[in-house]
């Protein structure tokens, strides 16, 4: 395994696959009928960033000093509550 490999979590439920989008899924998505839906939005708010998870019934996570911190919180939430 190369040092750049990554692990993707796919959850199959009733023929539907849930996953956090990653470019590594492009080939798989080309071979199947795939629909992607936005689960959240990470946006600036003045001097801070927020992760809006309301599209999946989640909270609005606020007060992050950097976009990277908001993205990390977004992914952590999605892994725990959406792609569980």
Q: Residue 11 in contact with residue 84, Cβ under 8 Å?
A: yes
Cα-flanking dihedrals φ and ψ of residue 28, to 5°? -65, -40
Which residue segment(s) compose the domain that 60 sits in?
11-82
Q: Write the pLDDT tens digit of every residue in 19-60.
A: 888 888 888 777 777 777 888 999 999 999 999 999 999 999
Q: Does 3 fall in a domain?
A: no
Task: Assess if residue 40 is contained within a domain.
Answer: yes
Name the token pair of 65: 């000093």
| Tally of domains in the chain | 1
* 2 in a structural domain: no
Task: State the Rg of the chain over Cα.
Answer: 15
Q: What is the pTM for the complete model shown?
A: 0.75
Compute the 3-state secondary structure of the chain and give helix, strand, coil in percent, each to the nearest 5.
35, 25, 40
Please answer whether residues 39 and 76 qualify as being in contact, where contact means their C-beta atoms are separated by less than 8 angstroms.
no
């Amino acid at each position: 395994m190369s040092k750049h490999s990554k692990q993707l979590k796919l959850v199959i439920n009733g023929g539907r696959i849930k996953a956090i989008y990653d470019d590594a899924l492009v080939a798989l998505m080309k071979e199947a009928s795939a629909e992607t839906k936005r689960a959240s939005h990470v946006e600036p708010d003045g001097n801070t960033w927020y992760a809006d998870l309301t599209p999946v019934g989640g909270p609005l996570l606020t007060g992050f000093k950097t976009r990277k911190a908001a993205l990390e919180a977004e992914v952590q939430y999605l892994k725990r509550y959406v792609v569980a």
